[in-house]
Amino acid sequence: ETGVLSRRGGVAVDGTKIAANAGKHSAVSHGRAGEMIEEIKGEVRELVALAEKADREAVPETLKVPEEIARREARRKKLEEARRVIEARHKEKTVERQRDFEEKTADRAARRERGERVRGPGPQPPPAEPDAKDQYNFTDPESRIMKAGNGGHFEQAYNAQAAVDTEGSMLVLGGYVTDAPNDKQQLPAAVESVPREVRDTTHVLADTG
150-182: per-residue pLDDT in tens?
767 888 999 999 999 999 999 999 999 999 988
Distance CA 19, CA 177 (A): 12
pLDDT of residue 96: 85
DSSP SS3 for 59 = coil
Of 74-78, 102-106, 152-156, the range with the lowest mean pLDDT is 152-156
Instruction: Indicate if the pLDDT at residue 75 is higher than 90.
Output: yes
Question: Does the pLDDT value for residue 77 go beyond 70?
Answer: yes
Residue 52 is predicted with a pLDDT of 80
Sequence-separated (6 or more) residues with CB below 8 Å from residue 160: 15, 16, 17, 18, 175, 176, 177, 178
DSSP state of 129: S
Q: Where are the beta strands (DSSP E) in 51-138?
A: 135-137
Q: How confident is the model at residue 61 (pLDDT cuts 50, 70, 90)?
A: low
Q: What percent of the chain has pLDDT over 70?
A: 95
- Per-residue pLDDT at 158: 95
- The CA-to-CA distance between both ends of the chain, in Å, stands at 29
Distance of CA 47 to CAs 37, 51, 59, 148, 162, Å? 15, 6, 11, 43, 54
d(CA 57, CA 109): 73
pTM (two decimals):
0.71
Sign of torsion, CA 89 94 95 96? positive
Binned at pLDDT 50, 70 and 90, residue 148 comes out as confident
